[in-house]
Homo-oligomer: A and B are copies of this chain.
C-alpha cells in the first residue's frame, strides 16, 4: 500500500507538505506542488480516507437506513430515489452506505453514525410518531428526511411534495369525471405520506359536498400484494367504489390485478389513479394515470441538502417542496386520450 510517506520521500518533502498539496494549500509553492503531484501520479497514490476520517472526524459516506426490506427493494419508487441520490454523490467523491436495520432502526442509526461509518443519513419515510427522527435530532446527526415531519416535530431538514394538494387534484380529477363513490388505497396509516394523501382525498370529497365514508379508506402496505389485498376489500363493500385513488403506483397496479381478476374492466367499471409515476405505469394495461412526484429529483435534492448540512452545519435546517403533476393515461377514463397532462 502506498502511503503519504512514500509520496513524500519520492518528492523529497515531508508528509505534511504532501497533505497540504492535496488540499491545495496556498502556502505551497507551485514548484513543489508540481513535484508532489507527479509523485502522486507516479505511485498511483490514493489517500487513505479511513485515516483521513479518523483525524477529520467525519466520513465521506452518507447512509440510508432501511428496515422494510421488501418494501424497499421491491418498490420502484426507492430505486428511482436511489438513482437520484447516486447521481449527486458520484460527482462528490462521496459514497452511499446502504444499512439494513435488523429490528431496531435507532440502534442501527447509532451503530452507523457513532461508529463513524457515515457522516449523515437520509431517512426514507416519516411516521406520524417517529422516534427515529427524534433521535436523529437529539444526536444532532446531519439528516434529511424524505417526506415531511409531523407538525411541530423536530426541526429536521426535509424534501417532500405537497401531498395533500396532489391527492386533492387526483381525487378532484375523478370527481370531475363523474365518480361519486371513490375509494382510497393507502400505505400504512402510520406514515405521514398516507395521512397527507388521505387528507387531500377527503378535502376534495368535502369540497364537492360529499360525505367521507371511512370504509372506503383502506390502509395497506407498499407492495403490489398490498394493493391486491386492499382492492379485494374495497370491491367487497356494499357501497362499491367506481374509482380508486391509490397512494402508490405499485398499490394501484395490485389493485388493477385484483379488479381484472374479479371481472371488472378498467377504466369502465373502475377508474384508477396512482401516485409516483414509476416506469411500470406505462407498461401495464391500461396504462396508469398517476401523480408524478419527481422521484429522481427527490433523491437528488435530498442528497444535495444532506451534503450541505454536513459541510456547513451552520446553515440550519432546510426544506424543499417539489412540484408534482397529474399524468393522465388510460386508467382513469378521461376522454383526453392524447396523454394531455394538466400541469399542477
Shortest Cβ distance from residue A267 to the other chain B in the assembled complex, whole angstroms: 16
Q: Which of B49, B90, B115 contacts A116 (CB 8 A)?
A: B49
Shortest Cβ distance from residue A115 to the other chain B in the assembled complex, whole angstroms: 4
In the complex, chain B residues whose CB is within 8 Å of the CB of A112: 95
Shortest Cβ distance from residue A97 to the other chain B in the assembled complex, whole angstroms: 5
For window 244-300 of A, CB contacts with B under 8 Å fall at 253, 257, 279-280, 283-285
Verify if A61 is at the interface (C-beta below 8 Å from B).
yes
For window 62-100 of A, CB contacts with B under 8 Å fall at 63, 69-70, 72-74, 76, 79-80, 82-83, 86-87, 89-91, 93, 95-100
In the complex, chain B residues whose CB is within 8 Å of the CB of A114: 1-2, 44, 46, 48
| Whole-angstrom CA separation of A111 from B90 in the bound complex | 12
Query: Which residue of chain B is the closest to A101 with respect to CB atoms?
Result: B90
In the complex, chain B residues whose CB is within 8 Å of the CB of A101: 90
Q: Which of B54, B98, B111, B285 contacts A50 (CB 8 A)?
A: B54
In the complex, chain B residues whose CB is within 8 Å of the CB of A283: 224, 253, 257, 280, 284
Query: Which residue of chain B is the closest to A49 with respect to CB atoms?
Result: B115
Verify if A15 is at the interface (C-beta below 8 Å from B).
no
Map CB proximity to B onto A94-122 as digits: 1 under 8 Å, 0 otherwise: 01111111100000001110111100000
Q: A48-B115, A97-B97, A114-B1 are in contact. Are A74 and B79 (CB under 8 A)?
A: yes
Query: Which residue of chain B is the closest to A63 with respect to CB atoms?
Result: B95
In the complex, chain B residues whose CB is within 8 Å of the CB of A98: 82, 86, 95-98
Q: Which of B53, B60, B61, B73 contacts A82 (CB 8 A)?
A: B73
In the complex, chain B residues whose CB is within 8 Å of the CB of A111: 46, 93
A110 close to B44 (CB less than 8 A): yes
A117 close to B102 (CB less than 8 A): no
Shortest Cβ distance from residue A136 to the other chain B in the assembled complex, whole angstroms: 15
Verify if A323 is at the interface (C-beta below 8 Å from B).
no
In the complex, chain B residues whose CB is within 8 Å of the CB of A116: 48-51
B115 close to A47 (CB less than 8 A): yes
B117 close to A49 (CB less than 8 A): yes
Query: Which residue of chain B is the closest to A74 with respect to CB atoms?
Result: B279
B100 close to A89 (CB less than 8 A): yes
B54 close to A51 (CB less than 8 A): yes
Q: Which of B54, B93, B97 contacts A61 (CB 8 A)?
A: B97
| Whole-angstrom CA separation of A117 from B95 in the bound complex | 9
Verify if A242 is at the interface (C-beta below 8 Å from B).
no
Verify if A59 is at the interface (C-beta below 8 Å from B).
yes
A99 close to B110 (CB less than 8 A): no
Given contacts A61-B97, A87-B100, A97-B97, 12 further A-B contacts (CB under 8 A): A1-B57, A50-B50, A73-B83, A74-B79, A74-B279, A79-B79, A86-B98, A90-B100, A95-B99, A224-B279, A224-B283, A283-B284
Shortest Cβ distance from residue A181 to the other chain B in the assembled complex, whole angstroms: 26
Map CB proximity to B onto A30-53 as digits: 1 under 8 Å, 0 otherwise: 000000000000001011111101
